[in-house]
């Protein structure tokens, strides 16, 4: 098999554990009395700071300052629940201060849970935001697994953040099917659980709403979600512009229980670098391929080789379901796959702080029938 070389990397889901060594190892600190399952461990390393800032991730961490965990430290897990395309991944990236989750204008971009780790220095708080697949009406087996993962992320979380598209509600003045299903779930939570696990409502995309209508949108969505009996607080934000984001982060830190941190101070996410590379290229598939084709694709990282000069060679496979799709992804004369690789490489070099070489191969395979793929992404094949 030959790999098509592009000046970048490709995205992938790790079907099997690689023997390659990775740059960083995650250290999870046990927290007494935590009601949240321990963070998932993936094959390979995770994104961490490696000395003084070279990459975007490192530069972001440097701005956090030399913060040691104080006796009065706080730590909490926040599950972000909402329909597809409401800006959950954009919010996580904004909270963390660096890109840990991919984003695109298309719905259902997030396929599995992604943890972004933020620090609120003034309160000695570490906040682990859990970005989840959007809630939507599933049609395929893979869709069902994603939606199930979204619901399960809220179990045992210290705080649940329900995120809704305020601009959509401003236009239609009624809930979507996904929003209605969320409201129904909230209505079944008993008072004892509500007392232990605060539910906050984040009304996003307020930058698209006339200021005079903001209060009506806020009050309408609060009522639709069950009112003050269900929702502890409502926050109006714009994840895209940053309006209200850091105020929300500080408020979450205030609600966080006292306790030691789960992660090292410098860690931004527990996603392995191999999987991050895969996700960044999948982001380009969503941005550059039209209509439904991105949903028919998955990618596996098959090679990760660090070189003596500090660069890394990444070999990945894009899986499509039909031969006709293979030609579309490749493009005339390989133009499209080269463009995908070039833009992904630039983004990965910014995030990883090292030179990246990409090797790509496109295969035809029914990837969504592979139970190993589900397991590696933390999804339930039986869903």
Q: pLDDT, tens digit, for every residue of 204-256?
A: 999 999 999 999 999 999 999 999 999 999 999 999 999 999 999 999 999 99
Spatial contact of 28 and 39, defined as CB atoms under 8 Å apart:
yes
Cα separation, 206 vs 213, in Å, equals: 10
Burial of 21 (0-12, 13-18, 19+ CB in 10 A): exposed
Q: How confident is the model at residue 104 (pLDDT cuts 50, 70, 90)?
A: confident
Radius of gyration of the CA atoms of the chain, in A:
21
Please report the pLDDT score of residue 153 as a whole number: 81
Domain boundaries along the sequence of the chain: 4-21+272-376, 56-255
Please report the pLDDT score of residue 27 as a whole number: 26
Please report the pLDDT score of residue 140 as a whole number: 78
Cα separation, 17 vs 26, in Å, equals: 16
Cα separation, 205 vs 186, in Å, equals: 22
Class of domain 4-21+272-376: alpha beta
Lowest mean pLDDT among 22-26, 182-186, 246-250: 22-26
CA distances from 214 to 175, 221, 249, 359 (A): 16, 11, 21, 49
374 or 235, greater pLDDT: 235
Please report the pLDDT score of residue 272 as a whole number: 85
Cα separation, 351 vs 54, in Å, equals: 9
CA distances from 367 to 12, 155, 180 (A): 12, 29, 31
Cα separation, 178 vs 191, in Å, equals: 23
Mean pLDDT of the chain: 80
What is the distance, to the nearest Å, from the Cα of residue 366 to the centroid of all Cα atoms in its chain? 25
Please report the pLDDT score of residue 376 as a whole number: 66
Please report the pLDDT score of residue 172 as a whole number: 96
109 or 138, greater pLDDT: 109
Q: Is the pLDDT of residue 24 over 60?
A: no
Q: Is the pTM of this model over 0.85?
A: no
Torsion of CA 327, 7, 353, 44, to 10 degrees: 50
Spatial contact of 153 and 379, defined as CB atoms under 8 Å apart:
no
Q: What is the average per-residue pLDDT within 297-309?
A: 90
Nearest to 199 by CA among 158, 167, 149: 158
Pick the CATH number of 56-255 from 3.40.50.1970, 3.40.50.300, 3.40.50.10470, 3.50.50.60: 3.40.50.300
Q: Is the pLDDT of residue 154 over 90?
A: no
169 or 149, greater pLDDT: 169
Q: What is the pLDDT of residues 75-89, one digit of tens each?
A: 999 999 999 999 999
Q: What is the average per-residue pLDDT within 292-309?
A: 86
Please report the pLDDT score of residue 314 as a whole number: 92
308 or 366, greater pLDDT: 308
Task: Establish whether domains 4-21+272-376 and 56-255 are of one fold.
Answer: no
């Amino acid at each position: 098999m030959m790999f098509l070389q592009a000046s970048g990397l490709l995205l992938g889901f790790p079907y099997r554990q690689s023997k390659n060594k990775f740059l960083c190892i995650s250290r999870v600190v046990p927290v007494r009395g935590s009601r949240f399952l321990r963070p998932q461990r993936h094959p390979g390393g995770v994104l961490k700071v490696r000395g003084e800032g070279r990459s975007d991730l490192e530069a972001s961490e440097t701005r956090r300052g030399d913060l040691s965990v104080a006796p009065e430290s706080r730590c909490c897990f926040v599950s972000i629940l909402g329909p597809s395309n409401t800006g959950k991944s954009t919010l996580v990236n904004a909270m963390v201060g660096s890109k840990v989750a991919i984003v695109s204008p298309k719905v259902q971009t997030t396929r599995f849970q992604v943890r972004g780790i933020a620090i609120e220095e003034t309160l000695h708080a570490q906040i682990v935001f859990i970005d989840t697949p959007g809630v939507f009406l599933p049609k395929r087996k893979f869709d069902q697994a994603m939606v199930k993962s979204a619901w399960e992320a809220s179990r045992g979380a210290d705080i649940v953040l329900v995120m809704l598209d305020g601009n959509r509600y401003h236009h239609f003045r009624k809930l979507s099917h996904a929003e209605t299903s969320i409201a129904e779930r909230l209505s079944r939570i008993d008072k004892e659980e509500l007392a232990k696990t605060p539910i906050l409502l984040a009304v996003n995309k307020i930058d698209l709403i006339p200021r005079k209508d903001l209060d009506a949108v806020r009050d309408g969505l609060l009522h639709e979600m069950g009112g003050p009996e269900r929702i502890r607080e409502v926050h109006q934000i714009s994840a895209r512009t940053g309006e209200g984001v850091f105020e929300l982060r500080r408020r979450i830190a205030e609600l966080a229980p006292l306790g030691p941190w789960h992660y090292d101070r410098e860690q931004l996410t527990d996603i392995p670098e191999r999987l991050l590379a895969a996700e960044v290229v999948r982001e380009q598939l969503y941005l550059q391929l039209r209509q439904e084709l991105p949903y028919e694709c998955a990618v596996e990282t098959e090679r990760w080789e660090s070189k003596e000069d500090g660069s890394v060679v990444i070999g990945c496979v894009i899986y499509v379901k039909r031969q006709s799709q293979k030609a579309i992804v490749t493009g005339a004369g390989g133009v499209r796959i080269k463009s995908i690789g070039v833009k992904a490489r630039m983004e990965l070099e910014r995030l990883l702080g090292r030179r990246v070489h990409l090797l790509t191969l496109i295969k035809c395979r029914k990837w969504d029938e592979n139970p190993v793929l589900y397991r590696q992404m933390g999804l339930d094949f039986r869903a």
